[in-house]
Amino acid sequence: MQHEYTFRVRYKDTDQMGVVYYANYFIWFEIGRSEFMRSINLSYREMEENQVYMPVIEAYCQYKQPARYDEVLKIVTTINFMQEVKMSFHYDIVHFEKGNLLASGQTTHAFVNPSGRPVVLRKHNPSLWESLKAKVADKEEIN
């Protein structure tokens, strides 16, 4: 399962040469992740209303080619894996018109309670676990 989100690079996201500042890719990963969750009808807000938070515990980005001001890009988000205590997303940032890969990366997120303590989602909130598992069931690595 994957989700695609298209956007245009804003001037504020670039340096004086019109090249996107490297840290913005992580912001785009967050956008991709949030839109992916919305696409399966399970927003971060709903997770938090169920007392489950998903902080980033690992983040990685490999830059292939620079993105530039005013280009239209696509964030392609997929799930790497989902386990009872964490899940991981993969992202490709692609030039919309040319189709070339500009960057790829991943983030891994723990499931934690409002106090920041790790939880086993299956035990902490069985209905949320089953709902999430069912919505991403076509991804192979769900434990």
- CA–CA dist 37, 14 (Å, integer): 27
- If DSSP codes are grouped into helix, strand and coil, which group holds residue 67? coil
Task: Look at the block and give the residue holding tokens 């692609």.
Answer: 94
What is the span of the domain harbouring residue 47?
A: 2-135
For residue range 34-87, what is the model confidence (pLDDT) as tens digits?
999 999 888 889 999 999 999 999 999 999 999 999 999 999 999 999 999 999
Provide the CATH number for the domain around residue 9. Answer: 3.10.129.10
Residue 86 lies in a domain: yes
Residue 97 lies in a domain: yes
Q: What is the pTM of this model?
A: 0.91
Averaged pLDDT of the chain: 93
Q: How confident is the model at residue 137 (pLDDT cuts 50, 70, 90)?
A: confident
Residue 39 lies in a domain: yes
Domain count within the chain: 1
HSE-up of 108 (CA within 13 Å, CB side)?
10
